[in-house]
Amino acid sequence: MTKVADLSYDNRCHLAWRLDNKTACGLITASRIARGEALQDKTLVEIFEWAGLTNRSAKIHARKVIDFNLKEYTRKIHERDWSK
């Protein structure tokens, strides 16, 4: 399973955002986890479970963190039709 140390900088930032916005984990704790200062020996699924999600939700959120691509996300945002 993937650990925080295996993630790129963008994926670590996305992990911190997802922990802060999608779980009961606060911003300070989420930032410490993303920097590798806390819960270093845990996998992403275990971190999301620790933050209060079910196993199924934890697996979904962990996969979204791993698959996150900032360039692709930015491209989609710029191509979106905002006039609707």
For 11-21, the pLDDT digits (tens) are 999 999 999 99
What's the rounded Cα separation, in Å, for the pair 39 and 56? Answer: 20
pTM: 0.84
pLDDT, tens only, 36-67: 898 888 999 999 999 999 999 999 999 999 99
Instruction: Give exposure, 2-24, as e/b (b: 16+ Cβ within 10 Å).
Output: eebeebeeebbbbbbbbbbeebe
Q: Which residues contact 12 (CB under 8 A, 6 or more apart)?
A: 4, 34, 35
Please count the other Cβ atoms lying within 10 Å of the Cβ belonging to residue 51. 22
